[in-house]
Homo-oligomer: A and B are copies of this chain.
């Protein structure tokens, strides 16, 4: 958990800290402490035990000071989501830069997505929470904008890979519903699998596999349906997964194993 914390803040650090003066830096650091406190309360005791009073106590300031940083409780959760989405983008970019064919790059992004939900299960819940109507509008306009931009960067990474594959002929020309169909197919199957994974539906008791186990094979079946070369019959998708896990996501795998 400590390893995770350092990692998490690190991406923000390099992006923001160097360009700020002392005042701004102190403010930024306290903001991170607020978010760390909120995250710990949510992770250890659940979302329903998160109160502004407890956050204030944890950072040894008063409630008023927390409100000096965030406009509402929802704003805190929104900021938490932004921080985690930054980490997700970092993982996606690492995947997209994989030196293999475009289908492998796409698979790497899918793997990043699955690993992300294993690393931050609570965060996926939070993202879902802030999407609920009536919650979202309590997030400051500034932060809503930041969320939107992060979402756009994420979709951009995926769409770029699909367009690369079209350009290089890995997907047959004149294929219908591209890039839309592939993009939404992969997104919905990944997103749905994550949420099913987090639900308390007793899959094994129903004689079913775990949703995340089937995600890998079903994503590849979908890509096969669009004739994205090489087809899964022309490659070893499990060997690919092993390679990607070792080469790109060794740190994440370690952390997932440590958490359980």
Is A211 located at the chain interface by the 8 A CB criterion? yes
Q: Which of B49, B151, B177 contacts A201 (CB 8 A)?
A: B151
Chain B contacts of A215 at CB under 8 A?
184, 188
Chain B contacts of A214 at CB under 8 A?
177, 180-181, 184-185, 188
Is B177 a contact of A217 with CB atoms below 8 Å?
yes
Output the nearest chain B residue to A180 by Cβ-Cβ distance.
B209
Chain B contacts of A193 at CB under 8 A?
184, 188, 192
Is A218 a contact of B155 with CB atoms below 8 Å?
no
Is A1 located at the chain interface by the 8 A CB criterion? no
A163-206: which residues lie under 8 A (CB-CB) from chain B? 176-177, 180-181, 183-185, 187-193, 195-196, 198-201, 206
Is A3 located at the chain interface by the 8 A CB criterion? no
Is B188 a contact of A218 with CB atoms below 8 Å?
yes
Output the nearest chain B residue to A125 by Cβ-Cβ distance.
B132
Is A125 a contact of B133 with CB atoms below 8 Å?
yes
Query: Can you tell how many copies of this chain the complex includes?
Result: 2
A237 CB to closest chain B CB (Å) equals 12
Is A100 located at the chain interface by the 8 A CB criterion? no
Q: How far is the CA of A221 from the CA of B225 in the complex (A)?
A: 6
Chain B contacts of A224 at CB under 8 A?
225
A42 CB to closest chain B CB (Å) equals 10
A73 CB to closest chain B CB (Å) equals 12
A180 CB to closest chain B CB (Å) equals 4
Q: How far is the CA of A9 from the CA of B49 in the complex (A)?
A: 36
Q: Mark A118-131, 1 if CB is under 8 A from B, else 0.
A: 00000001001101
A–B Cβ pairs within 8 angstroms, 26 of them: A46-B133, A46-B134, A48-B135, A49-B134, A128-B132, A131-B199, A131-B200, A151-B201, A155-B208, A177-B214, A181-B214, A184-B193, A184-B208, A184-B218, A185-B214, A185-B221, A188-B190, A188-B192, A188-B196, A191-B196, A192-B193, A218-B222, A221-B225, A222-B222, A222-B225, A224-B225
